[in-house]
Structure 1
Amino acid sequence: MNDVPLSILFGILFLLIILSGFFSSSETGMMSLNRYRLRHMAKNKHKGAMRASSLLEKPDRLIGTILTGNNLVNFAAAALATIISQRLWPDNPDLAVFVNTILFTLVVLIFAELTPKTLAAIHPEKVAFPASRILVGMQWVLTPFVWFVNTIANALLKLVRVDINATPDNLSTEELRTVVHEAGTMIPKRHQRMLISILDLEKMAVNDIMVPRSEILAINLEDDIEDIITQLRTTQHTRLPVYRDDINAVVGMLHTRNASRFLTNPDFNKSDILQECRDPYFIPESTPLHTQLFNFQKQQRRIALVVDEYGDVQGICTLEDILEEIVGEFTTDTAAIENPDFKRLNDGSTLVDGTAYIRDINKALGWDFNTDGPKTFSGLIVEYLETIPDGPACLTLEDKRIEILKVEDNLVKLSRVFDK
């Protein structure tokens, strides 16, 4: 080695540092690849993505190959740097060792570790895809050695109960929600809101969106026949529950389209309504929305009666209600426009109907009332007061000043809310 010119030794050392940088950047680039984007590109027959995906299927072999090459190169470079330093300072070996340690560490850190790894972390695909060509060949050449090393390493991992076959790239619901939020311009805002709404369905139950019992429009077979005919001709709904005397005694569900078959019949009677009714569909009030969406599809239904644990009807839930939680309002309800649940006043305050759902209020007005307890605004006020107010009253709740304007039938019918 003493007969080899220093220029050649420096050239070999330079080459070894470049190879060390290659292995360092390859490791970071391969591990920084977005697995979901990688799978998409591989499905579209991108050759670099297909090679990288194949290598990442067995990460222990890939890491073993990279580290084997990297360590061989680094040890060879360290040994060569020591020889060069001894050639430069033959009379002072201690100085040679000291200078070699400092300079070689700096060179390797800057040119073989920090710079290539940073580059690979910023542009993993540009580094990993070309490097995969070389890594595939190296993995084949080093198979016996890598297998031996990995066997020992995997045995040690099993001793500490580490599953080497685990798939760490599975996303939880919350992580997927973060991915959608962080997508930026890659996904339009409207589509982001829809995706988030789909994920939020599992957090909500049927009783969060149902039409409450007090607002159910239904046909009472105990009413006069003329009143029933008027109701059928003026209703804005396509499906109406049919019951006898009490809403808990529902006998069927009538599609108003079928009412045309008997409304023109001069001999029309209540039995004609029962003949056109379909069996009612009951669902528990605690059913998650994503489950109920599939249940509607499975049962081929569009409307269901919501019951509590005692079997009493608590409200109505429709397929349209669930879909609107995903895409937003897509129909025009004239009645809702004429009688809104909340109305902004000129002085900045807001009139809120007591039956309005807290979720709808928060969504429309940007408020932050707690939705874990009562579902309606009236229920929220009563829970806070721990009593039903006898008349007008005032309270402060969630940084809002609330004036109770009207109390009727044990219900806070109307309130006025001021921002503090």
Structure 2
Amino acid sequence: MNDIPLSILFSVLAALLVLSAFFSGSETALMTLNRYRLQHLVKQGHKSAKKAQRLLKRPDRLLGLILLGNNFVNILASSLATIIGMRLMGDEGIALAAGILTLVVLIFSEVAPKTLAALRPEILAFPASWVYTPLLKIFYPIVCFVNLIANGLLRIFGIKASEHNHVTLNKDELKSIVAETDSIMPDRYKNILLGIIDLENATVEDIMTPRNEIIGINIEDPLDEIISQLKSSPHTRLPVYKESIDRVIGFLHLRTILTQLFNTESFTKQDITKQDITNNLITPIFIPETTPLHKQIQSFNVDKLRIGLVVDEYGDVQGLVSMDDLLQGIVGEIMTEEADVRKYSDGSYLVDGSVTIRELNRITHWNLPTEGPKTINGLIIEFLETIPQIGTNLILHDHHLEIISRNKHAITQVKFLPD
């Protein structure tokens, strides 16, 4: 070594530092590659992505190869630095060379390349995959031996390298990814995806029209009131009952009955009778409140129906659900903004008390519990065990809110204050 010129030793040392930077940066780059983007590139036929994916199928072998190379060049660089230090300053140069080399390796061969790799992993990962593929074949016996010992140590702690090859997402993680796509997806389409992801856990109880809001026809009412109701109804299908919604006799499709009403230029009470109404009724169906949304959609499609009554375990009517309600419960409001949840510039939300917790969670990306009460009104009343007065402030599941309005029976409007 004493016969080798210092210029050559410095050149070799610089080359080793570059190799160390390559090993360090490529290790971080390959390990931080977005696996789903990588899979997308593989499907598109990207050659470098294919090589990277093959390497990542056995991360233990890849890491064994990278660390083998990195440790080799670092140890060799340390030895060269020691020789250079001794030739320049004698024994005193050993400590100085070690200190300088540590600082240089830390900055130029560790922090800088790993930071670059973390920010732009594909820049280093894809070229490195072309280098590591043949190297892995060449040094396979050594790598295999190292992995055999390392994996044996891991098995002592109950960890098997072969069991952790596949990257998977659970439902909550997938929802978090979708919720964070603000820059590439409008909110309304993001809400649709969140609704579909959450479809399995949603039931008809979550999206039904509550019993007290059901608009129907009491067949015992005077005929002129019934006709007036038919003409002004915003709904195309109405339940028909006797005195109480619990005594439903069927559903009336307004298209069939209004055709009879408007067939003449003028009509009187005699143009239609209650018998005409009952003759055009569709047999009602009753849906358990715990029925999942996706199953009820399938049931509606199979039975060629679009509306049903929701009942509890005792058979009492709790609400009404239609195919439109089911679809809206999944995809939310597509054509219009949410009328019952208004967000203000300061980050606060004005929420109608009848809004379902599930819908509010989807709009705000909160995690209010959905296991108990289904509406904001119900959640607050369960929490306080009373109907609070207007102006009441409380913290509900880490959210500060104020009661804005109420009636005798329920909270009608709530304001969630900024975090």
Instruction: Tell me which interval the TM-score lies in, with the shorter structure as reference length.
Output: 0.7 to 0.9
Change (3 A) 1:98 1:293: farther
Whichever residue aligns with residue 146 of structure 1, its letter is V
Whichever residue aligns with residue 79 of structure 1, its letter is S
Matched, 1:218 2:212: no
Displacement of 1:384 in angstroms is: 7.9
Secondary structure, aligned partner of 1:33: coil
Q: Pick from 150, 156, 159 the counterpart of residue 156 of structure 2.
A: 159
Q: CA offsets, 1:181-205, max 9 Å, x none?
A: 4333222333334334444556654
Identity %: 45
Displacement of 1:310 in angstroms is: 0.8
Change (3 A) 1:225 1:188: closer
Displacement of 1:126 in angstroms is: 0.9
Does the 8 Å contact 2:403/2:411 carry over to 1? no
Q: Pick from 307, 312, 317 the counterpart of residue 321 of structure 2.
A: 317
Q: Number of paired residues? A: 390
Secondary structure, aligned partner of 1:171: coil
Counterpart-to-counterpart distance in 2, 1:84 and 1:386: 80
Displacement of 1:376 in angstroms is: 6.2
Structure 2 counterpart of 1:191: 189
Secondary structure, aligned partner of 1:86: helix
Q: CA offsets, 1:377-401, max 9 Å, x none?
A: 8767876886789xxx766244646
Counterpart-to-counterpart distance in 1, 2:174 and 2:336: 30
Q: Pick from 169, 172, 177 the counterpart of residue 175 of structure 2.
A: 177
Matched, 1:150 2:147: yes
Matched, 1:308 2:315: no
Q: Pick from 94, 99, 102 the counterpart of residue 99 of structure 2.
A: 102
Q: CA offsets, 1:117-152, max 9 Å, x none?
A: 111111111111111110111112122221222122
Counterpart-to-counterpart distance in 1, 2:120 and 2:278: 69
Change (3 A) 1:48 1:247: same
Structure 2 counterpart of 1:130: 127
Structure 1 counterpart of 2:289: 285
Displacement of 1:305 in angstroms is: 1.2
Change (3 A) 1:145 1:287: same
Does the 8 Å contact 1:239/1:255 carry over to 2? yes
Change (3 A) 1:296 1:48: farther
Displacement of 1:224 in angstroms is: 6.5
Matched, 1:120 2:117: yes
Change (3 A) 1:131 1:213: same
Displacement of 1:81 in angstroms is: 2.2
Whichever residue aligns with residue 147 of structure 2, its letter is N
Change (3 A) 1:403 1:306: closer
Structure 1 counterpart of 2:5: 5
Change (3 A) 1:297 1:10: farther
Q: CA offsets, 1:48-92, max 9 Å, x none?
A: 222212211221121111111112222222222223323334xx4
Does the 8 Å contact 2:82/2:97 carry over to 1? yes
Structure 2 counterpart of 1:241: 239
Displacement of 1:19 in angstroms is: 1.0
Could you list the runs of 5+ residues in structure 1 that have no partner in the other structure?
A: 333-339, 344-350
Does the 8 Å contact 2:85/2:93 carry over to 1? yes
**Could you tell which deviates more after superposition, 33-42 or 274-283?**
274-283
Q: Pick from 316, 330, 333 the counterpart of residue 328 of structure 1.
A: 333
Could you list the runs of 5+ residues in structure 2 that have no partner in the other structure?
A: 265-269, 343-349, 395-400
Change (3 A) 1:300 1:168: farther
Change (3 A) 1:17 1:377: closer
Displacement of 1:371 in angstroms is: 7.8
Secondary structure, aligned partner of 1:217: coil
Counterpart-to-counterpart distance in 1, 2:160 and 2:221: 69
Change (3 A) 1:124 1:357: closer
After TM superposition, list the pairs within 5 Å mapping 1:14-413 onto structure 2: 14-89=14-89, 92-93=90-91, 95-164=92-161, 165-166=163-164, 169-199=167-197, 205-220=203-218, 231-259=229-257, 277-287=281-291, 289=293, 292-293=296-297, 296=300, 301-325=305-329, 326-328=331-333, 330=335, 356-357=354-355, 396-398=392-394, 400=402, 407=408, 411=409
Whichever residue aligns with residue 209 of structure 2, its letter is V
Counterpart-to-counterpart distance in 2, 1:311 and 1:201: 25
Does the 8 Å contact 1:358/1:371 carry over to 2? no
Counterpart-to-counterpart distance in 1, 2:383 and 2:235: 35
RMSD: 4.2
TM-score relative to the length of structure 2: 0.75
Change (3 A) 1:190 1:214: closer
TM-score relative to the length of structure 1: 0.75
Whichever residue aligns with residue 311 of structure 2, its letter is V
Structure 1 counterpart of 2:397: none
Structure 1 counterpart of 2:267: none
Does the 8 Å contact 1:262/1:272 carry over to 2? no
Secondary structure, aligned partner of 1:186: coil
Change (3 A) 1:330 1:150: same
Secondary structure, aligned partner of 2:319: strand
Does the 8 Å contact 1:324/1:330 carry over to 2? no
Displacement of 1:20 in angstroms is: 1.1
